[in-house]
Amino acid sequence: MMVKYTKILVILLIILFCIPRSVFPQKSGVIIGLRHDQILDQPLPYGEDVSASRFANYRTLWIFSNEQDSISSCKIQNFLLVPGKNTFWKIQVFRQKESDWVEDFIISNPIDQSTQLPFLDSLIVAECEGNKRLSIIFVGTDYLSYEGGSDGYCEGAAHPWHVNYLKTVSLDDPSGEGVDISAILGQDAKSALLQGARDYFTRKGDERLNPAPDEKNWGLIRRRGHWVLRGQLDYSSEVYRGQFAHFDIPFSTTQKLVGFDLLSVPWKKIKELVPKARDAITSPNKNLLIILTKDHLLVYSISLDSNLKLIQKTALIPNEFLIMAQWAIGEYVDKWNATIKDFLNR
């Protein structure tokens, strides 16, 4: 009899160790960064682009599970709380104004440090009128991307200026001039940037634009549940100042840049489930699906047989959209939760 039970125990242990780890319920959590644009009563000085009539606002959601059907969440208003490799970052965008000059700044600092507001350049304020504006479009563990622009006129200049740009910068130096795409993703990404520009001109052939893209002029956007690389072409001559165009870069983003970026539920199935879905993310352990519509954030549990169950529904600000999704699995859920609670209590 003892031999029989020993054999059964051995068989059970073999089954236990042969079953994939993903079969067992495991904690998962995600920090989501959201952005919505506020329409201004008046456009910024000299503003010609549509972005000069808006100001972007940001907030963070922390959503986590203890079991497959047990979800908790908290909202962190007015800034982005970003899990980096060695610390959590607090990222904010401030708009400074003096006389007829308006300028946006990204402030990024570890959560255990106080925020230091920047100073405007008094020389610019004294001699120029206009604006420098920016809106964050992607945040990862090491880098963020933003789209920006500037319009204005300086005393004695021949004409006003109008420029637009995409930039990807490091979290610890968001005011930098931007990082070359090859410095992060390699030479193949640079080649893809050039190919994307050629493909755009093959389709459009716009003489107002310079066909040679700047390697610093790139960023990431969301499309159907994935991050997509985007490049930008600038105007070809001063006659066409203010003209620009975005194009897709035919290159797959890497985990180093964006973190986890796979959908375990196909986009087609997501649209069948929620026809108004605009974006979606799934957890690395395939137990959570989060769908964003125009008005709501929907959290679904994913069972072992791939059935989906709605377990939480959160209202979104109209036209709020995702700019960050960083996942924690297993013991990191408790670690992140403790860090976030401690930060909010302070």
The 10s digit of each residue's pLDDT in 27-47 is: 899 999 999 999 999 999 898
> Tell me: the pLDDT tens digits for 152-192?
999 999 899 999 999 999 999 998 889 999 999 999 999 99
User: What is residue 85's predicted lDDT score, i.e. its pLDDT?
Assistant: 82
Mean pLDDT along residues 242-249 = 94
Q: Which of 138, 90, 88, 172 is nearest to 257 (CA)?
A: 138
User: What is residue 244's predicted lDDT score, i.e. its pLDDT?
Assistant: 94
Q: How many CB atoms lie within 10 A of CB 217?
A: 22
Amino acid at 310: L
- Asked whether the predicted pLDDT for residue 18 surpasses 50, the reply is no
CA distance 172 to 255: 19
Would you place residue 254 in the very low, low, confident or very high pLDDT band (cuts 50, 70, 90)? Answer: confident
CA distance 158 to 148: 23
pTM, full prediction: 0.89
Q: Which of 164, 43, 158 is nearest to 100 (CA)?
A: 43
> Range with the lowest mean pLDDT among 17-26, 47-56, 57-66, 301-310?
17-26
DSSP β-bridge partners for residue 328 = 29
